[in-house]
Structure 1
C-alpha cells in the first residue's frame, strides 16, 4: 500500500496544477471560515454570522462538512486530471512495463482517493475544532465530541464521489470530457428525480425513496442541509407557524448505498483497465 501511494504522490508532487488546486481547495474553506467569523458593520446594522450559532458545538460538525462538500469539485479535477495524464503522458503503459499490475494501478489510484478524503476530513475537523473553541457557547467535552458522525459521513461522501470521478477518468480518458460527463450525469439525475416526483408518482416521499439509490443523489444525501437546525430559523418558523422539521441525521442506509456504489466504480474501473489495450 505504501509503495503504491508513494508512486502516486510522486506524480502529484511534480504536477503544478494539482498543487495549485489543492491550495485553492483548502484555502477557500479557510477563507469562508474567516469571513463567517468577522463582524460586518452595514450602516445601522452590525452583522456577525458566528453569533448566529453556526460555530456552536456540536452543530459546527454538521454545518462545516456541508459547506466543505461544495468544494469537492477541486479535488475531483485533480483526480480526473491525474488519470487523464496517465494516458497522455503514457506513464500508465510505462508503469505496466516496469512491473506494476493493472490491479495495483487501480489500487494506487483508490488509495490516493482515500488519502485525499482522509486529509480533507482531518482538515475540516481541525478547523472546526478551533473555530468551535473560539466561538461556541458550549464547550463541555460531551457536547464537543457529539455528532461526529457527520465527519464520518463526509469522509464516505468524498470517497464515493472521488471513486466516481476516478471511474469517469479511466473510462473517458480525457479530463475535460470526463468532467463534462459528470455535469451531464448530474443533470440526468435531476431530470429523473423531477420525473419521479411530478410525473410518475406525484409524491415526493415515494420519489425520494427511489432516487436515493442514484449515485450522485445518494452521495449528496449523506450530509443534508443543516440550516433548519439553526435556532434563529427554528424561532422564526415557530412565530409564523411553519413546520421546518427536517431529518438531517446521518442515515446508515445512505452510508451503505454509497459504499456499494464506491465498490462498483472501483470494480468497473479495474474491468476497463483489464480489457483495454494499453
Structure 2
C-alpha cells in the first residue's frame, strides 16, 4: 500500500497544476473560519454571525461538513487530471512495463483517493473543533462528541465522489471530458428526479436514493433549516421545517457500494483496454 501511495505522491510532486488545486482546496476549507468574522454594525443594530449559534456544538459538525463538501470539485480536478496525465505522458504504459500490474495501478489511484478523503476529513474536524471551542456556548465533552457521524458521512461522500471521478477519468482519458461527463450525469439525474416527482411522487425519493450523486447528496442534508433562528422565522409565517437531518446508514451503504463498483469497473476498463 505505502509503495503504491509513494508512487502517486511522487507524481503529484511534479504536477504544478495539481499542487495549485490542492492548495486552493485546503485554503477554501480554511475559509470556513472566515464566516466567524462576518459582522454588521448599523447604528444600534449589531450583528455578529458567529454569535448566532452557527458554531455551537454539535451543530457545527453538520454545518461545516456540508459547506466543505461544496469544495470537493477542486480535488476532483486533481483526480481526473492524474488519469489524463497517465495517458498523455505515457506513464501508465511505463509503469506497466516497469512491473506494476493493472490491479496495482488502480489500487495506487484508489489509495490516493482514500488519502485525499481522509486528510480532508481530519482537516475539517480540526477547523471545526477550533471554531467550536472558540465560539460554542456548549463545550461539554458529551455535547462536543455528539453528531460526529457527519464526519464519517463526509469521508464516505468524498470517497464515492472521487472514485466516480477516477472511473470517468479512465473511461474518457481527458480531464475536461471527465468533468464534463460528471456534469452530464448530474443533469441526467436531475431530469430523472424531476420526471419521477412528476409521475410517481410517493416513490420518487426511494427510487432516486440509489442513484450515485443523489446518494452522496443524501449523506449530509442541508443544515440551514435546522438552525433555531430559521425555525423561529418559519413558525412565524406558518411553515413547518422539521425533518430528519441524521446520517442514514442505508445512504452510507449505497455510496460504499457505488464506490466499490466504480473501482471495479475502472479495473475492468483498464484490463480490457489495449494500452
TM-score by length of 1: 0.97
Once residues 51 and 243 of structure 1 are traced to their aligned partners in structure 2, the CA distance between those partners, rounded to angstroms, is: 25
Q: How does 1:28-39 map to 2 (within 5 A)?
A: 28-34=28-34, 36-39=35-38
Runs of at least 4 residues off by over 4 Å: none
- Identify the residue that residue 196 of structure 1 maps to in structure 2: 196
Match of 1:214 among 211, 223, 228: 211
CA–CA separation in structure 1 for the residues paired with 2:80 and 2:50: 36
In 1, distance between residues paired with 2:183 and 2:38? 36
Residue 74 (structure 1) aligns with: 74
Q: Which residues of structure 1 form unaligned runs of 5+? A: none
Say which SS state the counterpart of residue 153 (structure 1) adopts: helix
> In 2, Cα distance between the equivalents of 1:171 and 1:79?
13
Unaligned runs of 5+ in 2: none
When structure 1 is superposed on structure 2, of 36-45 and 104-113 the one drifting more is 36-45
| 8 Å contact kept, 1:39–1:46 | no
CA distance in 2 between counterparts of 1:16 and 1:169 reads: 19
Name the counterpart of 2:139.
139
Change (3 A) 1:133 1:6: same
| Structure 1: distance between partners of 2:38 and 2:106 | 48
Matches of 1:225 and 1:39 in 2, distance apart? 21
Question: 1:115 is matched with which residue?
Answer: 115
Q: Does 1:244 align with 2:244?
A: no
Counterpart-to-counterpart distance in 1, 2:38 and 2:8: 43
Task: Please report how far the alpha carbon of residue 42 of structure 1 lies from its aligned counterpart in structure 2 after TM superposition.
Answer: 4.8
Question: Aligned Cα RMSD in Å?
Answer: 1.0
Q: TM-score by structure 2 length? A: 0.98
Paired residue secondary structure (1:221): helix
Following superposition, the deviation at residue 236 of structure 1 comes to 1.6
- The total of aligned residue pairs comes to 274
Cα distance in structure 2, aligned partners of 1:105 and 1:163: 14
User: What SS is found at the alignment partner of 1:138?
Assistant: coil
Q: Matches of residues 162-181 of structure 1 in structure 2 within 5 Å?
A: 162-181=162-181
Partner of 1:158: 158
How far, CA to CA, are the matches of 1:78 and 1:257 in structure 2? 25
Post-superposition shift, 1:39? 4.1
Q: Offset of 1:47 from its aligned partner?
A: 2.6
